[in-house]
Structure 1
Amino acid sequence: MSGPKTAPTSTLARAGLRAHWPALLGTGAVLALASTMTTLTGVLFESGLREPGGAGSLLVTVASSFSGTALVLVVMVVAATTTLALRGRRREFALLRAVGATRGQVRRLVATELALLSAVAAPLGGLPGLALARWLDPALVDAAIVEPGFRSTLSPLPVLGAVALVLPTAVLAGLLAARETVRAAPTAAVRESAAETAPVGPVRRVASLVCAIGGVSVAATPLVVPGTVGAALAATSAFLLVGAAALAGPLLVAWTFDRTARLTARRGGAPTRLALVNLRGFSRRLTTVVVPLALVVAVGTVQTTVDTALQRATTQQLGAAIGTPRVATSAAGLSGQQLATLAAAPGVDAVVTVADAPAELQTDADVPDSLGWEATTLRAVDPAVEPALLDPDVTEGSLGDLAGTDTVAISSDTAFDAGRGLGDRLRVRLDGHDATLRVVAVFDRGLGVGGELVSPATLAAHDVTPVVRLALVDGPAADAVPGTVPTADFVASATSPDAGSQHLSTLLTLLLLGFVALGSLNALLLLTAGRRDELRLLHRTGATARQLRRTVGVEAVVTAAAAWAVGTAAVVPAVVGVSAGLLGASAPALDLPAYAALSASVVTLAIATVLLTAVRIVRAATTTGDAR
């Protein structure tokens, strides 16, 4: 590679891609899938931003929530896949150094190869992302995120954004993976390419410690910021802790298997001891495979935990807010005659109406309308309502002050999102025109009763007629009033997730899990298929085919157990934090069936993939070894 006739880096890179296309095929597929996820996220954002009149605010909110998880997964899975693919070529890069290639030439070769691969895979992966966005349109409509007749906006921008994310991530991960080989002296690089000798550096140790401390700290956010905001922040702790495990993986593996090897030194057979020593000696390789598998457990458990905790919190808050034994409801709205009939029924002492009016709430005045306004529902209640009948749990101010026009009571979540407090002004958009309301109270049960409460007089002052969909009926004979249902039944029905929202949530979660699972599958295949020379050498030194299969089997079981343990340990603080933020001091809102299914899937995927691939690899290694 030196001298006047050195081939261009791009030519060598293309030759390298052709020579290693079977191994790079899986890496390219993962890069394409990463582009698909990123493009889908971009289409959701763009479609929401382009909707006129703020009609896409809910879609922007959904896109923001989805992108927060999707982009983190894209970066982590792409980095892990690229790192593992290039680790299998350490000897090749070391030989290039030995025959005269400079450090800069090897770096440029690695960067060019990955740039060429990403430049092809990312745009190709963006096309299914555009199709996937259109496929989600009916689910978005069914979940009432967008209006009927909605069609996603398709443009090149999301695809370009996906390329801009995937390409540099892959290149950077590749350069980091080849760093040890490039830094070593040429002869040392060849010698070290067959084993992992470099210790974990101080920068990586510090970064791991920072991620671990950050993950635990973020999980404790609900202690300072209660409600949905604190719970959402707590949920992100799982990703920080998985990242910490990825950075400190070699240290954790060495510490764990040193002690495990001592315990099994006498009781374990030769394949078991060989497997443990192998895992100990190639701890970086094991870490690269464990991280995607751990993410499957972490992502799925966190998503289902948040959904479960939100549903439980909404049920608790609505049940605690309503103090009457019976309620009357109507999706189309209760008429004045119906309300009068309820009030005149024998044994009824009071009827409290709760009316709804669609509106938009300004959360940020410094950004475009599609980002600064959120769709909401203003609930109109009587300012003089008794807390024994309807209690939103006011913590500041008084609901009685709603008697004045242009006043509003807001939940603690709305106060945090909008940055408003008692006495501040809140801008809302009612029936197409803006209004400024003064905050006169702050309450805690926003999930149950809604984010904003106003008086009927405030809505009337702006020519808005709310729809009475709920009436609270109180009295000694309320149970006998026709047209009413027990409050407990109403709460259970009102807080159960509707089919449309549940379907959309399931689809988005499955997309995330499918992407991570395919990344994990590719990592397992790369790891196992890249061990042909290693297994051949073991066979030549006396290991039988049966011992090799048992060794690989033990490694597969340990890899699966390690992935499950890391994923489980990473989600524990998140589960506790989310539950504390939404439910207070109660049992964690862990969806045990979902967690069990995810755990079983990870273990089965790891063991089955490794064993099925290993059988073929061991047969090839032992057959070739015998022939020679």
Structure 2
Amino acid sequence: MISLATARERWTSFLGSFVAVALGVAVVTMSALVLLSDGTGVPGRLAGAPVLVQSPAGEPTGGVFTENPPWAPGRAEELRRKLAELPGVAAAVADRSFYAQTPGSEQRKGERQGHPWSAAALATYALSAGRPPATAGEIVLDDSLGHGPGEPVTVLTARGPRYFSVSGTMDGPGYYVTDRSAAELTGGVRVIGLVLEPGTEATRVADTARRIVGGDGTVLTGAARDALAPRQDEMTRWIGGQVLTAMALLSAFVTVFNVSSTFAFAVAQRRREFGLLRTIGATPRQVRRLVYGEALVVGVVGAVAGSIAGMALAPAMTGLLIDAGFQPAGFEVSIRWWVPAAAWALGVAVALAGAGAASRRASRVKPLEAMREAAVDSRPMTRRRWITGLVATSLGAVCSVGTVFAGADAMVLLALGAAMGLTAGLTLLLPVLAGPLTGVLTRPLARRPGATAVLVRENMTTAVRRTSAAIAPVLATVAFAVLITSAVQTTQSADTTRQAAAVRAEAAVVPRGTPGLSDAAVARVDGTAPLSTTVYGGEGRAVLSAAGVSPGFEQAYRVRAPRGNTVVVTAAVAAAHGWGEGRTAVLTFEDGSVGRLRVTAVVDDSMPYQVFLPRELVRAHDPSALADVAYRTGPTPAPLPAGLGAEEVPVAVYAASDDAEEDRLVWRFTLILVTITAGYTMISVASTLLAATAGRTRDFRVLRLSGATPRQVLLTLAAETCCVVTLGAALGLVVAAPALFGIAHGLREELGLPVEPAVAWPWVVGVITGCLLVATAATVLPARAALRRMRRA
């Protein structure tokens, strides 16, 4: 019959597995619910049209998220006219957009909130006061901006500030002008909305519209219209999907690791118990079934708790993702019953998979193990463990060396391979490394009077399985935290250095509160300002980022600017489309028109855009294009007017902030992964040490009978814990250092610029401190309770 103390020790050892399974299932449930949700819904400015026709999608390249290519002007008008003639259609409206913004308001890069008044018929909101615009100088805008009918208002456009009189206000976002005024500011048509007569069935109209449109577009009805959500939201959702997928996969992997570690350590502690079972006739199969049964209980209970927690926390998680920028504003999570059910089944399977190796080890325990009294690990290293550990360490070392000679893409993979190989190898070799390293670490304590140092050294070197099990998760966490955070910071620092070195300019003029710089702001800068746009090339109409540049571009970038009907492309674009120097490139512009341009130069892929065009050509085809930055190459000008939404900064500052939003999301993504891994590791550390401490009651009794005070016992345990965390942190740094220095050296050689490793010390120190606090609490608190029970007995 199992005693109460033995039962307490057993289920204490499984507590970490229960928590790991519960957290893993909770993360998987939350992630799946958010990933499978429908998104932000149909955009309000188009939701009033039951049927929407969208232009065919392009083929994004280089991770570019843009709107679909527009129809050619003639084709757009032809489609609109034919769709307007359909039975039951009251109006077919071509939706157009242009950049418009009042000074002091905020807009994201790429936003275009200006529209012709005819497009207001597609919205779910309407006039709240006043009347529609009737002349070129009138505008209807959002009533939340605080302007009433009859008031003058300044609106920033791509050309510069324009002055309007407010003819009316709407109870929704947007700036609406007359159709004639909008034609001067807008590009091509990508969406045609159908306003139906009362009582007309949308599906019938949509079926007829599909026959007319054919392959020239997509007809959308109902919830499918949310495909017209802004591309910024699509990119945000894509980034959020990567975060959630990584969280779910990492949680599943680390859960298996934690469950495996917990059950392996529990089996090692219960060798006498399994030996007794074998002595009284238990077969190896029965022992395996016992371990699997315990894992099943842990998995079922933990998965139920995780599924419930995941459903409860999904809305809160959605709010956090929106605040962090990983989901667009207005996103709502949908609860689907089968998601937590699937996550529960996954949690049970993970628990059983994690206990597989432990069950096999338990079934191999010999009956004579019941005769053992000492807790000495006489043979912690098997031949298979030696071979596997040395092979993994060697592979990690080879990958570390490879990072020095690899390119940018292979460098990251080799760095991860180095970290994984060295982590796995050193973890397997820990039983043989723990003794010498402990001796070195406790040598300073040996000179002090007392038996604490002796007890710490002997306890750690005698029970090497326990010591190794406690060191391993700390090693993995510190290695992961150092490598991932430092690699991201090193890469971002190198990219900033590259951008600053690529431009020869006195300063940079950048937008503040606006999506870009207008022509009026650029005109005040003595230099060059690439006019950002999108073009579509090739038979598949590949989406390409482009810029219109002036002759001053040559001085800033040391590349000859295109003139007339010529174009400059990057090497990757030239190779993909066969646009070598002297060849003709066929491009579709933002207004839908097609141009044939001669390629005058092919430049390096490190340039900030894929295609370079004459500035006047871009302005002619994209009236709403804005400049991302203006590089000043001349003397210091007069201060820029505040109303233009621009300010001057050093080139190095702009280089650091150019991808600030992307860098911010990448850094938050990195910290989420590090936090999840560190959290799981601390669970593993806590569960291992809780189980180890619970199984050392006999040791505490011997120490007390030998004359040790409770304070001395607790001090010895705390010293052991500090040694364990210190050794794990030191080995984690050793694992990460080669790959990190290899990344820095590889970037230095590739860029030809000084690149130094950047270590995120605050996060590294925080992770180590967290491991130390958790480990100390998991050791000292249960030991203190055990000593109190001895004193009462």
TM bucket normalised to smaller:
0.7 to 0.9
Map residues 174-185 of structure 1 onto 2, 5 A cutoff.
Answer: 174-185=355-366
Partner of 2:19: 29
Equivalent in 634, 640, 645 of residue 482 of structure 1: 640
Corresponding letter in the other structure for 2:517? L
- Would you say the 8 A contact 2:256–2:354 is kept in 1? no
Asked if 1:445 is matched to 2:628, the reply is no
Asked if 1:272 is matched to 2:453, the reply is yes
Corresponding letter in the other structure for 1:520? V
Corresponding letter in the other structure for 1:378? S
Q: Which deviations, in whole Å up to 9, do the C-alpha atoms of 1:534-561 show, x marking residues without a partner? A: 3224444665545533432332222122
SS of the residue 2:556 aligns to: coil
Partner Cα separation in structure 2 for residue 255 and residue 608 of structure 1: 26
Partner Cα separation in structure 2 for residue 492 and residue 463 of structure 1: 31
Equivalent in 665, 679, 698 of residue 533 of structure 1: 698
- Higher mean C-alpha deviation, range 146-155 or range 94-103: 146-155
Q: Which deviations, in whole Å up to 9, do the C-alpha atoms of 1:405-434 show, x marking residues without a partner? A: 7x85267xx99xxx979879x9x999899x
How much does 1:214 deviate? Answer: 3.1
Partner of 1:604: 773
Structure 2: runs of 5 or more not aligned: 40-223, 642-646
Partner Cα separation in structure 1 for residue 535 and residue 528 of structure 2: 23
Partner of 2:519: 336
How much does 1:131 deviate? Answer: 4.3
Partner of 1:311: 492
Map residues 464-503 of structure 1 onto 2, 5 A cutoff.
Answer: 467-480=625-638, 482=640, 485-488=648-651, 489-496=653-660, 501=665
Map residues 374-389 of structure 1 onto 2, 5 A cutoff.
Answer: 378-382=545-549, 386=553, 388-389=555-556
Partner Cα separation in structure 1 for residue 256 and residue 446 of structure 2: 39
Partner Cα separation in structure 2 for residue 617 and residue 182 of structure 1: 31
Asked if 1:353 is matched to 2:511, the reply is no
Partner Cα separation in structure 2 for residue 570 and residue 109 of structure 1: 37
How much does 1:512 deviate? Answer: 3.8
Partner Cα separation in structure 1 for residue 697 and residue 561 of structure 2: 73
Q: Which deviations, in whole Å up to 9, do the C-alpha atoms of 1:408-462 show, x marking residues without a partner? A: 5267xx99xxx979879x9x999899x9x9998563536xx36x44547999799
Partner Cα separation in structure 1 for residue 303 and residue 427 of structure 2: 25
Partner of 2:87: none
Partner Cα separation in structure 1 for residue 680 and residue 604 of structure 2: 40
- Would you say the 8 A contact 1:48–1:59 is kept in 2? no
Partner of 2:93: none
Partner Cα separation in structure 2 for residue 402 and residue 533 of structure 1: 89
Partner of 2:476: 295
Larger radius of gyration: 2
- Would you say the 8 A contact 2:287–2:363 is kept in 1? yes
SS of the residue 1:485 aligns to: strand
Corresponding letter in the other structure for 1:617? A
- Would you say the 8 A contact 1:564–1:602 is kept in 2? no
Partner Cα separation in structure 2 for residue 93 and residue 152 of structure 1: 48
Asked if 1:514 is matched to 2:504, the reply is no
SS of the residue 1:445 aligns to: coil
Number of equivalenced pairs: 577
Q: Residues 183 and 503 from structure 1, CA distance in 2 versus in 1: closer, same or farther, beyond 3 angstroms?
A: closer
SS of the residue 2:372 aligns to: helix
Partner of 1:283: 464
Q: Which deviations, in whole Å up to 9, do the C-alpha atoms of 1:252-284 show, x marking residues without a partner? A: 113434677899878774332232122112111
Q: Which deviations, in whole Å up to 9, do the C-alpha atoms of 1:494-532 show, x marking residues without a partner? A: 354589736665555434433332332232222212211
Corresponding letter in the other structure for 1:352? A
SS of the residue 2:355 aligns to: helix
Q: Residues 271 and 44 from structure 1, CA distance in 2 versus in 1: closer, same or farther, beyond 3 angstroms?
A: same
- Would you say the 8 A contact 2:385–2:428 is kept in 1? yes
How much does 1:32 deviate? Answer: 0.9
SS of the residue 2:725 aligns to: helix
Task: Please state which structure has a larger fraction of its residues in helix.
Answer: 1
SS of the residue 1:380 aligns to: strand
- Higher mean C-alpha deviation, range 472-481 or range 565-574: 472-481
Corresponding letter in the other structure for 1:558? C
- Would you say the 8 A contact 1:327–1:470 is kept in 2? no
Partner of 2:189: none
Partner Cα separation in structure 2 for residue 498 and residue 21 of structure 1: 46
Partner Cα separation in structure 1 for residue 603 and residue 403 of structure 2: 18
Partner Cα separation in structure 2 for residue 35 and residue 429 of structure 1: 48
Q: Which deviations, in whole Å up to 9, do the C-alpha atoms of 1:38-76 show, x marking residues without a partner? A: 444444654599985783433333345545654543333
Q: Which deviations, in whole Å up to 9, do the C-alpha atoms of 1:579-601 show, x marking residues without a partner? A: 34556553211122332333333
Partner of 1:87: 268
Partner Cα separation in structure 2 for residue 327 and residue 391 of structure 1: 17
Q: Residues 453 and 511 from structure 1, CA distance in 2 versus in 1: closer, same or farther, beyond 3 angstroms?
A: farther
Partner Cα separation in structure 1 for residue 529 and residue 255 of structure 2: 50
- Would you say the 8 A contact 1:524–1:610 is kept in 2? yes
Corresponding letter in the other structure for 1:487? P
- Higher mean C-alpha deviation, range 577-586 or range 78-87: 577-586
- Would you say the 8 A contact 2:528–2:556 is kept in 1? no
Partner of 1:104: 285
Corresponding letter in the other structure for 1:289? A
SS of the residue 1:112 aligns to: helix
Q: Residues 222 and 258 from structure 1, CA distance in 2 versus in 1: closer, same or farther, beyond 3 angstroms?
A: closer
Partner Cα separation in structure 2 for residue 338 and residue 547 of structure 1: 73
Partner Cα separation in structure 2 for residue 430 and residue 125 of structure 1: 51
TM-score by length of 1: 0.75
Q: Residues 505 and 258 from structure 1, CA distance in 2 versus in 1: closer, same or farther, beyond 3 angstroms?
A: closer
Corresponding letter in the other structure for 2:257? M
Partner of 2:240: 59
Partner Cα separation in structure 1 for residue 743 and residue 463 of structure 2: 36
Partner Cα separation in structure 2 for residue 432 and residue 209 of structure 1: 62
- Would you say the 8 A contact 1:312–1:583 is kept in 2? no
Partner Cα separation in structure 2 for residue 529 and residue 18 of structure 1: 8
SS of the residue 1:327 aligns to: strand
How much does 1:319 deviate? Answer: 1.2
Asked if 1:114 is matched to 2:295, the reply is yes
Partner Cα separation in structure 1 for residue 536 and residue 690 of structure 2: 52
SS of the residue 2:530 aligns to: strand
How much does 1:399 deviate? Answer: 8.6
Q: Residues 145 and 175 from structure 1, CA distance in 2 versus in 1: closer, same or farther, beyond 3 angstroms?
A: closer
Partner of 1:558: 723
SS of the residue 2:379 aligns to: coil
Map residues 607-626 of structure 1 onto 2, 5 A cutoff.
Answer: 607-621=776-790, 623=791
- Would you say the 8 A contact 1:242–1:570 is kept in 2? yes
Partner Cα separation in structure 2 for residue 429 and residue 160 of structure 1: 49
Partner Cα separation in structure 2 for residue 317 and residue 210 of structure 1: 38
Asked if 1:579 is matched to 2:744, the reply is yes
SS of the residue 1:329 aligns to: strand
How much does 1:571 deviate? Answer: 2.0
- Would you say the 8 A contact 1:383–1:402 is kept in 2? no
- Would you say the 8 A contact 1:28–1:121 is kept in 2? yes
Partner Cα separation in structure 2 for residue 230 and residue 458 of structure 1: 41
Corresponding letter in the other structure for 1:35? V
SS of the residue 2:557 aligns to: coil
Partner Cα separation in structure 2 for residue 579 and residue 476 of structure 1: 35
Partner of 1:7: none
- Would you say the 8 A contact 1:323–1:389 is kept in 2? yes
